[in-house]
Amino acid sequence: MHSAFRSVITLVVICCLVCSSVRAQESFRDLEVEISGIPGASYYLIAPNARDSIGFVDMSGRAVFRRGVGLHTNLAAYGTKKLSVFTGNFGYFAYVIFDSTLTPIDTMTVTQQYVTDSHEGMFWTDSTFMMLGLEFRPFDMSGVVPGGQPNASLMVTVIQERHLVTDSVLFEWNAFGRIPVTDATSNIELRQRTIDYIHANSIVRDRDSNLIVSCRHLDEIIKIRRADGSIMWRMGGVGSKNREFTFVNDEHDGVTGFSHQHSAFVTKTGTIMLFDNGNLKPNQRSRVVEYALDTVAMTAIRVWSYTPEPPLYSPSQGSVEVLPNGNILIGYSATNDQRIAEEVDRNGSIVVQIRRTSDIPLQTYRVRGTSLGCTAIERTIVKSGREEFADADSSTWVRLDVNEVSDSHRTRIERHHYRPHAWHVEDSQVCGPLSLRWTIRVLPVVGIRGSLRFDVAEIASPEKAILYYRSNEGSGRFDRLATRYDAEASEIIVDTIVVGEFAVAYPSCVDPTPVFPPRGATSIPSTTSIRWSESPAASSYDVEVSFQEDVSMPFAAFTTYRRDTVLRALPPSSNVYWRVRKRIEDAQGMWSASSMFTTAGTVHVPEDPRTTLQCNVWHHGGHLRIASPGAPLKDVLVYDLMGTLVAWKAFASDAPTYEVPCNHLPRVAVVIVRGVDSSIQRRTVVRD
C-alpha cells in the first residue's frame, strides 16, 4: 500500500524500533519449556511477551530474534516468508509486515472510513492481506430494547481483503443489515452507549474459497459466500439465538456446543476446529473441539476434543492451530494458571508445555508455531540408507547414514542461526561458539543405528572445527564429541546417532573470509547480497568494496555486526573486489584476501553506425527528460539492470524536450532512445 497514511505508519514504527528496542528487550520473560516428544514448531510466537518488542521463543524458553515494534498484539508468520504484527503506536492502528530478516517492509490497514481491528490480520495470498475492521455506526436503540440509548454506536464487523501493491480492495463485507444487533448473546449489554454485538475474532478460507468467521458475541461460526457476501450458514453454540446445526456427541457439563470461542479454522480434512473458551457454560473451563459438519442434515459431530488437566479457564483470548507434523498447538490467556501453551498429539498426550516462571500474568492473544528464522526438516525413517535432511534449496547441513532400523523413527533436525544459550565447555581455551547450532530429535531413539554427517563447508577453516554436544537444549555443559573429518566433502562425521543440541567451536580463533558470491562468480545482479564467514571472537566486522583489484578507492566501506549485507546499484559488466576483517572492541584484525565477482551486463542494444543521436537524458521530479537536438524521437524504453522493461513511451510529434513518467525508476536505469530514422542511443541514468 502506498498511501501517505501508510508511509507515516511505517516511519512511526521504524522510529519505535530504534527508540525502544534496548529498553524493552530487558523486559522479555524467559519461559519454562518442557518437551516430551517431537515438537511441530521450531519457535513459538507469544505476543506480547515484552510490552513493546516482539521475539521468538525457542525450545529453551528464551526470546530470540528480538525486534522493537511498540505496543502490539497478534504476531503471525506467513510460512517462512514474512511476519505481521498489529501495532497501536501513537493512536495509529495497523498491521506492520516484516520480511524474513525482520525488516519492516510495509503496513496494512482497512480503508479510512473504518478502524483496523487487532483480532485478525493475515496473508490471504502472497500479494493480498485479509483483515477485520470496525465501523462505528450511530444507531437508535431506544425502540429495540427497553432502556436502549437513542444515540448508541454499533461496533459493526467489517472484513476487507486488500492488495499489497495496488492498494485496491478485492473483497469487502459489512455485517450491518445482515446480522441484527439483537442476535448478540444474552450477556452482551444492549443498553450501553457502544455495543460490540458481533466481536469477530478470526477469518479463514474454506476449501471452496468462501469465508469461515468466528463471531464471539454471537456464540457462532458463520460461513460467508465470497461472491455476494450472503451468509451461507450459522453454526451456533451455547448462547446462540440462531442455531442451525444440531450437535452430536458433544454433551458436556449439561450443555452442548461451544461458547465465546476463538481461532475457528478449517483443517486439511475439512473439519472445523476451534478454541472453546466456555464463558456461558455452567462449569466454566476451556477446551479445544473439532467438528465434522454435515450441511445437508445440518449436524455438527464432535470428532475430537482436548481439555487440559487440571482444568483451565481462559475467559478471553486463546488460540489453537494444527502444526505441519499434525500436533495441535493450544494457547491459553487471561488465566491464573502458570500454563501459557500446550502442544499435544491426536491422542491427547502433551508433547510440549510452556509455562511462565513468575506470578505476573502473561496475557497473549494467540500462541503460534513457526520455523521462520531456521531450517527445520522432519522425516520418518523406516529403512536403512542415506537420509538427507534438506528440502529444495533449504538444508539443515546434516545427513543421516542409517545402517539399521527396527521401528518407524520420527526424526526432526533443525539448523539455527544464532549461538547456543549458556555456552559452557571444560576447555576454556577454545574459541567459540559460532552463530550456528543444531538440534536433533529421534523418536524412538532406540532401535536405530548409523552415523551423523555435518556439512561445515560454509564456515571458515572447517578442518579445524570442533563439534560439541549436550543432551538438553539450552542448558548444561557442552562436551566434545569423538568425530572424524572428511576433507573432500567438508563434513564432520559422528559414528553414532546422538540426539540433543550441537554447536561448533575452534581450537583457536580464525579470521573471517568472503563466502558469497563465490570467488570468480559471473553474471551477479547489480543488487546482490555478500556474505562472509564468522570469527567467534569478533564484536563486529569491517567490509570494503571496490572496483580496483587492490581495493583502493572503496565504492563502499562500513562496519556491521551482521555477517552479510546487500550491495545496491553496482555498475553492469564490472569486476567487484571486496574484503573483510574482524573487530574486537577497538582492535582491528587483518584484512582477508580480496574476493572478486563480475556483475551482469545490461540488455545489449548496439549504437546505429549510420546515425549518432546526441541526446541529453536526465531524471527530474518523477520524470525522465530527453533533449534531442537532432532527429525527432520515435520512443524511449527504460530497463533496469536485470533487463526488465520498467517504462516505455512512444511520441507522436517532434519536440525539443521529451518526458517519460517514471515514478518508480530504479536507482540505475538503462535508457534506450530510438529516433524516427531508426537511429538508437543508449544511456545509463542514475537516479538522484
pLDDT digits (tens, 9 = 90+) for 424-478: 999 878 998 999 999 999 999 999 999 999 999 988 889 999 999 999 999 999 9
Q: Which range among 15-24, 137-146, 244-253 shows the weakest confidence by mean pLDDT?
A: 15-24
Confidence grade of residue 14 (pLDDT, cut at 50, 70, 90): very low
Architecture of domain 616-686 in CATH?
Answer: Sandwich (2.60)
**The predicted structure's pLDDT at residue 4:** 32
Confidence grade of residue 605 (pLDDT, cut at 50, 70, 90): very low
Identify the helix (H) or strand (E) that includes residue 22.
Answer: helix 4-25
Q: Which range among 112-116, 148-152, 609-613, 680-684 shows the weakest confidence by mean pLDDT?
A: 609-613
Most trustworthy range by pLDDT among 14-28, 122-136, 617-631: 122-136
**Count of beta carbons in the 10 Å neighbourhood of residue 219:** 28
Confidence grade of residue 8 (pLDDT, cut at 50, 70, 90): very low
Q: Which range among 34-48, 345-359, 634-648, 674-688 shows the weakest confidence by mean pLDDT?
A: 634-648
Confidence grade of residue 382 (pLDDT, cut at 50, 70, 90): very high
DSSP state letter for 649: E
**The predicted structure's pLDDT at residue 575:** 93
C-alpha Rg value of the chain to the nearest Å = 30
**The predicted structure's pLDDT at residue 570:** 83
Most trustworthy range by pLDDT among 98-112, 214-228, 549-563: 214-228
Compute the average pLDDT of residues 142-148: 96
Confidence grade of residue 419 (pLDDT, cut at 50, 70, 90): very high
**The predicted structure's pLDDT at residue 358:** 86
Which pLDDT tens digit goes with each residue over 486-521? 999 999 999 999 999 999 999 998 899 999 999 999
Average pLDDT for the chain:
89
**The predicted structure's pLDDT at residue 25:** 43
pLDDT at 21 over 70: no
Q: What CATH homologous superfamily does 514-598 map to?
A: Immunoglobulins (2.60.40.10)
> Going by C-beta distance under 8 Å and a sequence separation of 6 or more, which residues neighbour residue 217?
184, 185, 188, 196, 197, 198, 199, 260
Give the span between the Cα atoms of 133 and 110, in whole angstroms: 6
CA-angle at 241, arms to 142 and 269, nearest 5°? 140
**The predicted structure's pLDDT at residue 486:** 97
Q: Which range among 274-278, 415-419, 664-668 shows the weakest confidence by mean pLDDT?
A: 664-668
Which pLDDT tens digit goes with each residue over 365-378? 999 999 999 999 99
Task: Tell how far CA 246 is from the center of its chain.
Answer: 39
Give the span between the Cα atoms of 587 and 111, in whole angstroms: 53
Q: Where are the beta strands (DSSP E) in 371-462?
A: 374-381, 385-391, 394-405, 409-416, 437-443, 448-455
Confidence grade of residue 5 (pLDDT, cut at 50, 70, 90): very low
Query: What count of Cα atoms within 13 Å lies in the side-chain half-sphere of residue 341?
Result: 36
Cell numbers found for residue 187: 450477556
Which pLDDT tens digit goes with each residue over 319-345? 999 999 999 999 999 898 999 999 999
**The predicted structure's pLDDT at residue 135:** 98
Confidence grade of residue 568 (pLDDT, cut at 50, 70, 90): confident
Which pLDDT tens digit goes with each residue over 273-320? 999 999 999 999 999 999 999 999 999 999 999 999 999 999 999 999
Higher-confidence position of 680 and 378 = 378
CA distances in angstroms from 211 to 160, 205, 247, 470, 615, listed in the order given: 12, 5, 21, 47, 56
Identify the helix (H) or strand (E) that includes residue 287.
Answer: strand 287-294
